[in-house]
C-alpha cells in the first residue's frame, strides 16, 4: 500500500481514449486521487502524475494509445506515467516497453491506482505491471463522469458475456456484471445534487444489467431512474437490439425522463454476416425494433452502428446490408471499418476484404448517413424542442441538445448554462446545427 503523504501538493494530468465508459471511469480515478490530495493539472503546468486510460477496440485504437502515451510523457517531463484500460489489460508488456511508462495497470485494479503509485521509485527503473487474469475479473465498480458539463455519464454495467467473433472486449473487461438498482439510483441522485441535468447510461452491454442481482433487470432500472428528481432526462446508451425489448420502447414513449434517443448496434444488415459475427439477432428483429420506435416516437433519434469489411463480407453481403439500411428509418449511422484483432475467432473466417473495398463501402454508408441526418434535422424545423444548454464557449456561441439529440446553438450566455429552453428552430446553419 502506498504512503499517501507522498501525494500532498501533487498534480495529475488525465488522458482518455475510447468510449463513454472510459470517460466515466477516468473521472472516478480523478476523484479518488483528489481525495488523496492530488489535484488536476492546470493549463501550462507540468504534472507529477499522468494517467492514460486506453481503448483497444481496433488496431488504430492501439496506435492512438501509443501516440497518446508518448505525448503525455513529452508534455509532462519527469512525471510518473500510468497506463490503464483495455489496451493495458490486453497488451501490458507492449505498453511497458514504451519509454517513459512507469506503471501498467489492468482492468480489475483500474480504480485503485492510488494503491500502486510508487512516486519515489526511480524513474529509470522500468515499468511495473499490475494485471490479473481476465476470467478472474468479477467486481463491478461504480463510475460516473463529473467534468464541467450538464450531461454526465453513469456506468451501470461492465463486461460482456457475448463473444462476437470480431471483438476483444470480453477479453479486456471480463464477464458481464452490474451494480444494484439501489446503488445506481443513489449515484444518479448524487449527480443531480451536483447540478447535472442529463445522465447518459453507459456500460459495455447495458441491456444485460442485473447480473448478480436476482429479480433486477435493465427495464426495472429504467423505471426506477425515471423517478429520480432533479435530472431532466436520461439517455439510454448503446444497447443490443435483442436486449432493447418492446416493453422498454413502449415505456420510453410515455416516460417522464427517458429521452427519445436510441443507439443500437446493427453491425451488418446481412443475416449471413450476422451469423458469421455470432450476433444474437437477425435483421427482422432489428427492423421490428426500429419500426416500433418510429411508430411510437416519430421524432426519436435512432443511431445505428455498422461495421464494414468484416471477414466473410463478400460483395453480395455488403449489398444486402446497404439495401437493408436504405429501407430502415434510422437517423444516423456510425460506420466502422473492420480491424483484425489477434486472438479473435474472426481470423478463421475465409474471405478477407481489401482495404480499398473497406474504404469504398465505408464511404457509401457515410453518404447514406449524411443524407438521413439532414432529413432528420429538416423534419424538426418548426417543431418545438426542449434544449438543455451546456458548458463551453465556441467562438461566442454555446451549444445544447434537445431531447431527441438535435444540436442547437445560441449566443454564449454563462447564466444560461444548465437551464432549459423550449424553442422552435427555424434555421439550420452550414455546420448542421440549429441556430436559436
* C-alpha to C-alpha distance for 325 and 365, rounded to whole angstroms: 9
Beta strands in 309-404 (DSSP E): 332-337, 385-389, 397-402
Q: Residue 4 has what pLDDT?
A: 64
Give the SS3 label for residue 264.
strand
* C-alpha to C-alpha distance for 423 and 300, rounded to whole angstroms: 17
* C-alpha to C-alpha distance for 300 and 403, rounded to whole angstroms: 8
pLDDT digits (tens, 9 = 90+) for 359-377: 999 999 999 999 999 999 9
Beta pairing class for 385-389 and 11-16: unpaired
* C-alpha to C-alpha distance for 216 and 68, rounded to whole angstroms: 39
Per the structure block, which three cell numbers stand in for 276? 458469421
Q: How confident is the model at residue 3 (pLDDT cuts 50, 70, 90)?
A: low
Phi/psi class of residue 44: alpha, beta or left (left: φ > 0; alpha: ψ in -120 to 50)? left
pLDDT digits (tens, 9 = 90+) for 127-150: 999 998 888 888 899 999 865 678
Give the SS3 label for residue 105.
strand
Q: How confident is the model at residue 431 (pLDDT cuts 50, 70, 90)?
A: confident
Provide the mean pLDDT of the chain.
Answer: 94
Q: What φ, ψ does residue 235 adopt, rounded to 5°?
A: -110, 135
DSSP state for residue 428 in the 8-state scheme: B
pLDDT digits (tens, 9 = 90+) for 4-48: 677 888 999 999 999 989 999 999 999 999 999 999 999 999 999
pLDDT digits (tens, 9 = 90+) for 178-224: 999 999 999 999 999 988 999 999 999 999 999 889 999 999 999 99
Give the SS3 label for residue 61.
helix
Amino acid at each position: 500500500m502506498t504512503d499517501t503523504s507522498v501525494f500532498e501538493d501533487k498534480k495529475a494530468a488525465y488522458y482518455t481514449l475510447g468510449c463513454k465508459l472510459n470517460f466515466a471511469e477516468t473521472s472516478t480515478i480523478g476523484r479518488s486521487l483528489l481525495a488523496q490530495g492530488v489535484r488536476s493539472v492546470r493549463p501550462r503546468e507540468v504534472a507529477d502524475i499522468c494517467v492514460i486510460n486506453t481503448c483497444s477496440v481496433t488496431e488504430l485504437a492501439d496506435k492512438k494509445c501509443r501516440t497518446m502515451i508518448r505525448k503525455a510523457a513529452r508534455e509532462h517531463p519527469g512525471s510518473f506515467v500510468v497506463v490503464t484500460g483495455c489496451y493495458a489489460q490486453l497488451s501490458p508488456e507492449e505498453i511497458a516497453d514504451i519509454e517513459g511508462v512507469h506503471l501498467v495497470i489492468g482492468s480489475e485494479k483500474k480504480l485503485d491506482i492510488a494503491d500502486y503509485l510508487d512516486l519515489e521509485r526511480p524513474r529509470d527503473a522500468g515499468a511495473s505491471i499490475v494485471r490479473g487474469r481476465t476470467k478472474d475479473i468479477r467486481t463491478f465498480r461504480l463510475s460516473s463522469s463529473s467534468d464541467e458539463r450538464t450531461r454526465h455519464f453513469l456506468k451501470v454495467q461492465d463486461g460482456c458475456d457475448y463473444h462476437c467473433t470480431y471483438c476483444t472486449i470480453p477479453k479486456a473487461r471480463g464477464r458481464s456484471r452490474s451494480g444494484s438498482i439501489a446503488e445506481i439510483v443513489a449515484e444518479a441522485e448524487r449527480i443531480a445534487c451536483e447540478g447535472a441535468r442529463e445522465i447518459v447510461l453507459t456500460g459495455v452491454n447495458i441491456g444485460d444489467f442485473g447480473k448478480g442481482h436476482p429479480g433486477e433487470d435493465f427495464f426495472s432500472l429504467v423505471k426506477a431512474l425515471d423517478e429520480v428528481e432533479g435530472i431532466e432526462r436520461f439517455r439510454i446508451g448503446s444497447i443490443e437490439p435483442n436486449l432493447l425489448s418492446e416493453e422498454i420502447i413502449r415505456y420510453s414513449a410515455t416516460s417522464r425522463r427517458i429521452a427519445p434517443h436510441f443507439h443500437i448496434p446493427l453491425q451488418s444488415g446481412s443475416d449471413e454476416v450476422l451469423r458469421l459475427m455470432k450476433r444474437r439477432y437477425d435483421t427482422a428483429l432489428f427492423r421490428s425494433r426500429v419500426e416500433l420506435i418510429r411508430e411510437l416516437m416519430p421524432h426519436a433519434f435512432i443511431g445505428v452502428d455498422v461495421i464494414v469489411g468484416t471477414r466473410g463480407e463478400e460483395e453480395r453481403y455488403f449489398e444486402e446490408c446497404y439495401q437493408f439500411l436504405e429501407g430502415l428509418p434510422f437517423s444516423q449511422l456510425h460506420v466502422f471499418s473492420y480491424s483484425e484483432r489477434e486472438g479473435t475467432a474472426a481470423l478463421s473466417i475465409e474471405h478477407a476484404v481489401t482495404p480499398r473495398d473497406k474504404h469504398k463501402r465505408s464511404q457509401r454508408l457515410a453518404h447514406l448517413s449524411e443524407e438521413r441526418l439532414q432529413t432528420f434535422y429538416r423534419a424538426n424545423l418548426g417543431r418545438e424542442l426542449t434544449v438543455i444548454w451546456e458548458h463551453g464557449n465556441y467562438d461566442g456561441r454555446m451549444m445544447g441538445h434537445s431531447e431527441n439529440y438535435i444540436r442547437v446553438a445560441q449566443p454564449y450566455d454563462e447564466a444560461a448554462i444548465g437551464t432549459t429552453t423550449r424553442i422552435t428552430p427555424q434555421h439550420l446553419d452550414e455546420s448542421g446545427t440549429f441556430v436559436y
